[in-house]
Amino acid sequence: MYSSGFIKMDEESFEKLSTFITQQYGIKLPPAKKSMLESRLNKKIRNLGYNGYKPFLAYIFGREGKVKELPHIVDLITTNKTDFFREPAHFDHLTQDFLPHYVSNNRHRPLRIWSAACSSGKEPYTILITLEEFRKATGPLAYSILASDINTRVLQSAYQGVYNHEQIDMLPDHLKRAYFLKSKDPGSSLVRIKPEYRKKIIYKRINLVHEYDMPYSMNFDVIFCRNVLIYFDKATQEKVINRLAKHLRPGGLLFLGHSESTMGMKVPFEQVKPTIYRHIP
Ligand SMILES: C[S@@+](CC[C@H](N)C(=O)[O-])C[C@H]1O[C@@H](n2cnc3c(N)ncnc32)[C@H](O)[C@@H]1O
């Protein structure tokens, strides 16, 4: 059974799928998102050999599909837009404000940073570059970076650290030279994060809307949770932020995305600057 055309989604299937995605991953899918869902799932349905949503859903929610396909449906639905040095004021704040203060007070323990919706890795690698540049300028700095996302496809690409050279165009030449390797194939436009930096980041699939375990009993000094809360409703955002607070040291920083804030929420944070918050338990 193989269909090559576009497969329309019936209302009942949309209801079932959108309810599942919202309950599992927090991502809101109002009726206006139906055509987005249709276009993102079309290829998957055809590749599995179905010609309609009802048999497709029966499979993914059934015994075999639940294990093989259902956990990865979210990979087709998330929006993963990201960039190196996206919202650069955050990295300036780390370099000029947070890090000088941190090293003068905490030399005895490594700094821990979590990029909590890391997409394809540009955010954790930007954090790494910021820390390395600070270390080169000022002296020893031990640190660890955890990068997590719900989408296994982007996590895999973050782990590989391979990008098209256009994606690092905005970086100054000295940073390109210091942190990236060109492909050995002269016809290729790919660059790769140098292995000694790539292996400094730990990757883990973490769903921010449900209880999760940290890889170690970890308390972070800084959490980046940027441009993901916008996909959740307000109550879920508040729950997610309160859960992040449990993994952040008192006085630690939380960075949110440019259109996100804690306004109107009962959360243990005070604002330092727009989109930068300090944990005050
Ligand atoms: C727009 S990207 C933001 C990437 C990066 N933080 C930045 O600001 O450039 C949003 C990311 O959130 C992830 N995401 C969506 N829902 C999530 C959830 N429930 N738990 C963890 N990550 C989630 C998506 O897979 C996607 O990679």
Mean pLDDT, to the nearest integer, of 241-247? Answer: 95
The DSSP letter of residue 187 is: T
List pLDDT tens digits, range 257-274: 999 999 999 999 999 999
| Residue 117 Cα to ligand 1 middle (Å) | 4
Position 215 scores a pLDDT of: 66
Position 266 scores a pLDDT of: 98
CATH architecture of 89-159+198-279: 3-Layer(aba) Sandwich (3.40)
Mean pLDDT, to the nearest integer, of 197-205? Answer: 95
> In terms of pTM, does the model score above 0.75?
yes
Residue 113 has pLDDT above 90, yes or no: yes
User: Identity (one letter) of the amino acid at 20?
Assistant: F
User: Identity (one letter) of the amino acid at 274?
Assistant: P
Domain ranges in the chain with CATH number 3.40.50.150? 89-159+198-279
User: Rounded CA gap, 212 and 231, in Å?
Assistant: 19
Q: What share of the chain is helix, strand, coil (3-state, %, to 5)?
A: 45, 20, 35
CA-nearest residue, atom 2 of ligand 1:
80
Position 2 scores a pLDDT of: 45
Position 226 scores a pLDDT of: 98
User: Rounded CA gap, 131 and 97, in Å?
Assistant: 13
User: Rounded CA gap, 18 and 33, in Å?
Assistant: 9
More confident residue, 218 or 39: 39
Paired strand residues for 181: 192
Position 120 scores a pLDDT of: 98
| Percent of residues, the chain, with pLDDT higher than 90 | 89
Which pLDDT band, with edges at 50, 70 and 90, does 253 fall under?
very high
Which pLDDT band, with edges at 50, 70 and 90, does 106 fall under?
confident
Q: Which helix (H) or strand (E) holds 19?
A: helix 11-25
| Residue 48 Cα to ligand 1 middle (Å) | 27
Domain ranges in the chain with CATH number 1.10.155.10? 11-77
More confident residue, 1 or 73: 73
Is the distance from CB of 65 to CB of 59 less than 8 angstroms? yes
| Residue 143 Cα to ligand 1 middle (Å) | 23
Is the distance from CB of 199 to CB of 159 less than 8 angstroms? no
Mutate to test the pocket of ligand 1, among 24, 40, 78 (most ligand atoms within 8 A of CB): 78
Which pLDDT band, with edges at 50, 70 and 90, does 186 fall under?
confident
Position 217 scores a pLDDT of: 64
Answer whether CATH 2.40.128.50 is correct for domain 11-77: no
Tokens 């390395």 map to which residue?
132
